[in-house]
Amino acid sequence: MIEILRMLLVTGIGLGAVAGNSDEIKKFFNDTVAVTQQIATAGDMRSISIMLDYEFMRRGRYPKTGYFKKWMERNFKENNSKPITTDHWKNKLIYRSGKDQKSCILISCGADGIKGTKDDLKITGP
């Protein structure tokens, strides 16, 4: 989906350059890509959190922190666009389960790739 948007926007940039609006079109392109990355990452994280909650309901606990990657590989299909444990900015997702495995947190560090900043996306369970 992001690649299709990029192709359409690149075409728009080319047309805009001819029309003299290249700066505006570049800004539009960058803003559109940023929003698309945020929406896609939020959707991925929501899907992951649903499966994590299902795991909790089924087994009474969340996966251990160290087993998150293996759990992801078992529960989600690999795709060609990105590794399943990364967000759409190509940063690794951060997963931590509580010591008793009765709680968990899933974090994307957002566009800046820095944990604890305002662009982070975070889901906690349950």
Share of residues in the chain with pLDDT > 70 (%) = 85
Give me the domains of the chain, ranges plus CATH numbers.
2-125 (3.30.700.10)
Can you tell me the distance from the alpha carbon of 84 to that of 72, in angstroms, rounded to the nearest whole number? 7
Question: What is the band of 88 on the pLDDT scale with cuts at 50, 70, 90?
Answer: very high
Of the candidates 9, 85, 5, which has an alpha carbon nearest to the alpha carbon of residue 41?
85
Please list the residues that pair with 4 across neighbouring strands. Answer: none
Q: Say if residue 79's pLDDT is above 90.
A: no
Instruction: Tell me the chain's radius of gyration from C-alpha atoms.
Output: 18
70 beta partners: none
Q: Give this prediction's pTM.
A: 0.77
